[in-house]
Amino acid sequence: MTHIRWCTRQLLNIQCTHVAWPTLSHTLVSAIATTINTLDRISTTAGGVSYDNDQVTVPIVSCSANADFIRRVCDKTLAKRTANRNRACKEIVSYDLSEIIRSKKKVHDATDKNKSICQRLEAKSTTTTSGQKTTKVKSMKSARVVIIGAGAAGIAAATKLLQSGFENVLLLEAENRYGGRVHTIPFADNVVDLGAQWCHGEKGNVIFETVRNLDMLQPTGDIYDDYKCVRSNKEVLSETVANTLKSVAFNLIPERQEGLKGYEGSLGTYLTEAFWRDLQQSPEIDKTVAREFFENYKKFESSIEASDHLFEVSGQGHLEYWVCEGDLLLNWKDKGFRSFLRLLMQAKKDETATDNMGLLNKRIQFNARVQNIEWRTKSADVRIRLWNGELIEADHVICTVSLGVLKENHKEMFTPALPLAKCRAIDGLKLGTVDKFFLEFTEPFAPVDWSGFCFLWRDDDLAELRNSEYFWLESVFGFYRVSCQPRILQGWIIGPHARHMETLPEAEVLKALLWLFKKFFTLEVPRPLRFLRTRWYTNPNFRGSYTFRSVYADELRAGGWDLAAPLTADSDGKPLLQFAGEATHTHFYSTVHGAVESGWREAQRLITYYLGRTSQL
Ligand SMILES: Cc1cc2nc3c(=O)[nH]c(=O)nc-3n(C[C@H](O)[C@H](O)[C@H](O)COP(=O)(O)OP(=O)(O)OC[C@H]3O[C@@H](n4cnc5c(N)ncnc54)[C@H](O)[C@@H]3O)c2cc1C
């Protein structure tokens, strides 16, 4: 009776959740149930089932599609029965009805390459000898772990699992490359980072601690302190005025860690009050110039938060972010941030070999966009559907997609829907847009003693700009030199204007930037040899740059901790669906070290789970 009830429930589930599949009648259900009992008896009496301490062996009968359907149901029944007799079998891995659906669909949909990956995964959890299928109790070796996303968090999770004894690890990556928001590409004299560029801090930063003796990092210096402030009438602020304004603005930063305690407003309100209060100590500064400077400074600060503006950033919540002591702008010399990921992967030094991915060789399936993740708390497994219809079964899924992807897709992406706490966190946390421009010149442009420059708009020029086709240039806040790349300038743009810029053809963006230079400089700006801009928002695999705690998240009392909580199986709390990625980190959100820690956190969760199981045997 238990089996019949189980079968009926599974069939009803299928009817409820897979409307595209033909409805199964009650007659069919009871026919299946009868056949199960018959086959069950035959198999048992014929001595077809054998078991030892950690494996169950079930005979495979060659059969037609329908018989195959029934046989697989029997496999489950027999495996369960045997498991009851075998106390060592804490968890039985077996087929259920949804896997039948998967098998059918896979035959139709999967490409040969994808099929072989699936088969590899399955082959690792089952051993087939002639005519016999052996299903093992899951262990670290056989548990099927699928990681969605091969960014920093995914790579960190996968490499830790593999180094800890997991063998059945697959990464599904929507892009045709690994790294996610770490994206180093060849450009000008060596490489540029389209995404993450610096290791932010030393003490308590897992990236710094991993590479501290490897001579991979170097200080960026004062590039982001020493820049020139240029007004839209081509006037360059004197060192004295610029330094006074910068020191007022920059000193708000260490101070705010104290000042924000108990502060109920936004970061924008706090910084605005503090800036004008502290500026009173420098009455010699022209207030118009100070306002122009502060407008620019707010854009610069928004780029650190990745917010559209600072009034949406939580003041108090901002304290949740921990700044690692030490140099906050350590760069990766002429190798880029990718060199750190390659270190994690234990890939060989040869940067050009695309098939050289060390521990992750043949473990990443590229162009594999996940559309749906069905997490089944009763059967304690997960089924993943890709954009091309391919279905993949797993025991554990670690989802590392960005907050932007979750915001856009979570309602369709998860079956059943995510719990309320996660939905609130997805809603409340924000992922803004920060984009970069790279211009390669024949030789260094701008006076050699300029480390960079920022744009201060005068009121009348700004009014004119806002009425022009170049209105979006208002959010381009500055251009700076790049370490190890003397011939390039790197510019920054934030917020809604960045999102607009992403929609424009590249040639038009360059034309606008050259217009901007002309507007601000007396010196002739040469046409760059090469130009690049990023489009982090337009790309559906990111939908933004990095996460910040919004005022709204505070209202909802939601945060990265809600995202990080695993969704577990009903029976024994086995982690089924886990979340990693920078947005899930309570203190280091928005960074690569946060992403790496979150990947390690989720890998450790699985390691702890399996070690706990072993110790109970
Ligand atoms: C312009 C910019 C500058 C930055 N600068 C710095 C910096 O200097 N220092 C720093 O520490 N951090 C910086 N960051 C932030 C840092 O890059 C990120 O915090 C970190 O890389 C995020 O890693 P992740 O693994 O959490 O997410 P991601 O890197 O986004 O990885 C998620 C992966 O999932 C894939 N994916 C998405 N949807 C699907 C799907 N449906 N199916 C399958 N795969 C999917 C994506 O393609 C991606 O590869 C910067 C980011 C940007 C954009």
Position 316 scores a pLDDT of: 81
Q: Let me know whether 554 and 412 are in one domain.
A: yes
Contact 485, 333 (CB under 8 A): no
**DSSP conformation class of 369:** -
Residue in the structure block whose two tokens are 């402030």: 229
Position 571 scores a pLDDT of: 86
Please give the structure tokens belonging to residue 516.
């901007």
Q: Which of 103, 107, 106, 113 lies closest to 362 in space, CA to CA? A: 113
Cα(418) to ligand 1 centroid in Å equals 22
Amino acid symbol at 383: R
Position 183 scores a pLDDT of: 98
Task: Specify the residue with its C-alpha closest to ligand 1, atom 31.
Answer: 151
Is 541 a pocket residue for ligand 1 (Cβ < 6 Å)?
yes
Structure confidence at residue 444 as a pLDDT band (50, 70, 90): confident
The β-bridge partners of 317 are none
Q: Give the span between the Cα atoms of 51 and 459, in whole angstroms.
A: 82
For residue range 562-595, list pLDDT tens digits in order.
999 999 999 889 999 999 999 999 999 999 999 9
Closest ligand 1 atom, CA of 435?
Answer: 1
For residue range 276-326, list pLDDT tens digits in order.
999 999 999 999 999 999 999 999 999 999 999 999 999 887 788 999 999
Contact 528, 478 (CB under 8 A): no
Best mutation site among 401, 409, 426 for ligand 1, i.e. most ligand atoms within 8 A of its Cβ? 401
Does 358 score more than 90 pLDDT?
Answer: yes
72: alpha, beta or left? (left if phi > 0; alpha if psi -120 to 50)? alpha
Is 601 a pocket residue for ligand 1 (Cβ < 6 Å)?
no
Is 175 a pocket residue for ligand 1 (Cβ < 6 Å)?
yes
Task: Specify the residue with its C-alpha closest to ligand 1, atom 20.
Answer: 592
Task: Specify the residue with its C-alpha closest to ligand 1, atom 5.
Answer: 196
Is 589 a pocket residue for ligand 1 (Cβ < 6 Å)?
no
More confident residue, 443 or 341: 341
Does 53 score more than 50 pLDDT?
Answer: no
Pick from 46-60, 213-227, 440-454: least confident: 46-60
Q: Let me know whether 555 and 498 are in one domain.
A: no
Does 109 score more than 70 pLDDT?
Answer: no
Is 178 a pocket residue for ligand 1 (Cβ < 6 Å)?
no
Closest ligand 1 atom, CA of 198?
Answer: 8
Does 78 score more than 80 pLDDT?
Answer: no
Q: Give the span between the Cα atoms of 168 and 606, in whole angstroms.
A: 13
Cα(152) to ligand 1 centroid in Å equals 7
Q: Give the span between the Cα atoms of 493 and 343, in whole angstroms.
A: 31
Sequence-distant (≥ 6) Cβ neighbours of residue 28 within 8 angstroms = none
The reply to whether 158 falls in a domain is yes
Cα(465) to ligand 1 centroid in Å equals 33
**DSSP conformation class of 261:** T
Mean pLDDT, rounded, for 470-477: 98
Structure confidence at residue 421 as a pLDDT band (50, 70, 90): very high
The reply to whether 581 falls in a domain is yes
Q: Which of 507, 441, 522, 508 lies closest to 472 in space, CA to CA? A: 508
For residue range 55-71, list pLDDT tens digits in order.
222 222 223 333 344 34
For residue range 237-250, list pLDDT tens digits in order.
999 999 999 999 98
Cα(151) to ligand 1 centroid in Å equals 6
Mean pLDDT, rounded, for 28-47: 36
DSSP calls for 520-556: H-SSPPPPPSEEEE--TTTSTTTSSSEEE-BHHHHHH
Could you list the beta-strand ranges (E) of 124-209: 126-129, 132-136, 145-148, 169-172, 184-187, 190-193, 198-199
Cα(475) to ligand 1 centroid in Å equals 22
Does 527 score more than 80 pLDDT?
Answer: yes
More confident residue, 452 or 103: 452
Cα(271) to ligand 1 centroid in Å equals 28
φ/ψ (deg, to 5) at 409 = -120, -5
Does 50 score more than 90 pLDDT?
Answer: no
Position 484 scores a pLDDT of: 95
Position 354 scores a pLDDT of: 60
Q: Give the span between the Cα atoms of 588 and 109, in whole angstroms.
A: 40
Is 392 a pocket residue for ligand 1 (Cβ < 6 Å)?
no
Cα(361) to ligand 1 centroid in Å equals 21
Q: Let me know whether 315 and 227 are in one domain.
A: yes
Cα(401) to ligand 1 centroid in Å equals 8
Pick from 40-44, 268-272, 414-418, 584-588: least confident: 40-44
CA angle at 521 for the pair 516 and 523, rounded to the nearest 5°: 125
How many alpha carbons fall within 13 Å on the CB side of residue 154? 28
Q: Let me know whether 272 and 246 are in one domain.
A: yes
Q: Give the span between the Cα atoms of 157 and 396, in whole angstroms.
A: 12
Q: Which of 144, 108, 115, 78 lies closest to 383 in space, CA to CA? A: 144
- Whether the CA torsion 105, 107, 112, 115 is positive or negative: it is positive
Q: Let me know whether 514 and 461 are in one domain.
A: yes
Element (H, E) at 391: strand 391-394
Element (H, E) at 561: helix 560-564
Q: Which of 140, 187, 296 lies closest to 615 in space, CA to CA? A: 140
In percent, the amount of the chain with pLDDT more than 70 equals 75
- Strand 396-399 relative to strand 145-148, pairing: parallel
Q: What is the CATH number of the domain that holds 487?
A: 3.90.660.10
Does 230 score more than 70 pLDDT?
Answer: yes
Position 36 scores a pLDDT of: 37
- Strand 330-331 relative to strand 198-199, pairing: antiparallel
Does 617 score more than 80 pLDDT?
Answer: no
Task: Specify the residue with its C-alpha closest to ligand 1, atom 53.
Answer: 545
- Exposed e or buried b per residue across 272-307, where buried means at least 16 C-beta atoms within 10 angstroms of its C-beta: bebbeeebeeeeebeeebbebbbebbbbbbbbbbbb
Cα(597) to ligand 1 centroid in Å equals 14
Cα(174) to ligand 1 centroid in Å equals 12
More confident residue, 353 or 581: 581
Q: Let me know whether 371 and 424 are in one domain.
A: yes
Q: Let me know whether 315 and 439 are in one domain.
A: yes
Is 192 a pocket residue for ligand 1 (Cβ < 6 Å)?
no
The reply to whether 69 falls in a domain is yes
HEC-encoded secondary structure of 266-311: EHHHHHHHHHHHHHCCCCCCCHHHHHHHHHHHHHHHHHHHCCCCHH
Is 173 a pocket residue for ligand 1 (Cβ < 6 Å)?
yes
Please give the structure tokens belonging to residue 340.
């750190």
Cα(244) to ligand 1 centroid in Å equals 36
Q: Let me know whether 315 and 438 are in one domain.
A: yes
The reply to whether 63 falls in a domain is yes
Is 195 a pocket residue for ligand 1 (Cβ < 6 Å)?
yes
How many other C-beta atoms are found inside a 10 Å radius of the C-beta of residue 248? Answer: 23
Does 390 score more than 70 pLDDT?
Answer: yes
Cα(591) to ligand 1 centroid in Å equals 9
Best mutation site among 148, 160, 181 for ligand 1, i.e. most ligand atoms within 8 A of its Cβ? 181
Cα(555) to ligand 1 centroid in Å equals 26
Angle between helices 65-85 and 2-17 in degrees, nearest 10: 130
Mean pLDDT, rounded, for 401-430: 98
Position 253 scores a pLDDT of: 72
Mean pLDDT, rounded, for 506-518: 97
**Residues of the domain holding 156:** 145-180+336-428+546-616
Structure confidence at residue 616 as a pLDDT band (50, 70, 90): low
Q: Give the span between the Cα atoms of 465 and 471, in whole angstroms.
A: 5
Give the three-state DSSP class for 257.
helix
Position 105 scores a pLDDT of: 41
The reply to whether 102 falls in a domain is yes
Q: Which of 184, 188, 193, 189 lies closest to 530 in space, CA to CA? A: 188
Task: Specify the residue with its C-alpha closest to ligand 1, atom 19.
Answer: 591
Pick from 95-104, 239-248, 290-299, 487-496: least confident: 95-104
Mean pLDDT, rounded, for 380-404: 97
Pick from 15-29, 200-214, 245-259, 359-373: least confident: 15-29
Structure confidence at residue 172 as a pLDDT band (50, 70, 90): very high
Is 324 a pocket residue for ligand 1 (Cβ < 6 Å)?
no
Structure confidence at residue 348 as a pLDDT band (50, 70, 90): confident
Please give the structure tokens belonging to residue 262.
């108990």
Q: Give the span between the Cα atoms of 311 and 267, in whole angstroms.
A: 6
Does 432 score more than 90 pLDDT?
Answer: yes
- Exposed e or buried b per residue across 106-141, where buried means at least 16 C-beta atoms within 10 angstroms of its C-beta: beeebeeebeebbeebeebbeeeeeeeeebbbbbbe
Is 148 a pocket residue for ligand 1 (Cβ < 6 Å)?
yes
The reply to whether 191 falls in a domain is no
The reply to whether 381 falls in a domain is yes
φ/ψ (deg, to 5) at 425 = -65, -40
> Can you give the pTM of this predicted structure?
0.80
The reply to whether 203 falls in a domain is no
Q: Which of 83, 110, 137 is at the close of a domain?
A: 110
Structure confidence at residue 448 as a pLDDT band (50, 70, 90): low
Position 317 scores a pLDDT of: 78
| Count of the separate structural domains present in the chain | 3
Q: Let me know whether 319 and 447 are in one domain.
A: yes
Q: Let me know whether 243 and 386 are in one domain.
A: no
Is 162 a pocket residue for ligand 1 (Cβ < 6 Å)?
no
More confident residue, 185 or 354: 185
Closest ligand 1 atom, CA of 547?
Answer: 19
Cα(2) to ligand 1 centroid in Å equals 47
Position 49 scores a pLDDT of: 28
Q: What is the CATH number of the domain that holds 365?
A: 3.50.50.60
- Give the full edge-to-edge strand order of the sheet including 145-148: 364-365, 169-172, 145-148, 396-399, 575-579, 567-568
Q: Which of 533, 560, 575 is at the close of a domain?
A: 533
Give the three-state DSSP class for 399.
strand
Average pLDDT, the chain: 81
Is 401 a pocket residue for ligand 1 (Cβ < 6 Å)?
yes
Q: Let me know whether 465 and 527 are in one domain.
A: yes
Q: Let me know whether 412 and 467 are in one domain.
A: no
For residue range 201-218, list pLDDT tens digits in order.
999 999 999 999 999 999
Structure confidence at residue 409 as a pLDDT band (50, 70, 90): very high
Does 108 score more than 80 pLDDT?
Answer: no
More confident residue, 27 or 445: 445
Mean pLDDT, rounded, for 259-265: 81
- CA–chain centroid gap for 449, Å, is 38
Is 180 a pocket residue for ligand 1 (Cβ < 6 Å)?
yes
Is 182 a pocket residue for ligand 1 (Cβ < 6 Å)?
yes
Range 110-114 contact pairs with CB under 8 angstroms and sequence separation of 24 or more: 110/388, 110/389, 110/390, 111/388, 111/390, 114/365, 114/368, 114/386, 114/388, 114/390
Range 182-186 contact pairs with CB under 8 angstroms and sequence separation of 24 or more: 182/151, 182/152, 182/337, 182/338, 182/340, 182/341, 182/592, 183/338, 184/332, 184/335, 184/336, 184/337, 184/338, 184/339, 185/336
Q: Give the span between the Cα atoms of 368 and 292, in whole angstroms.
A: 47
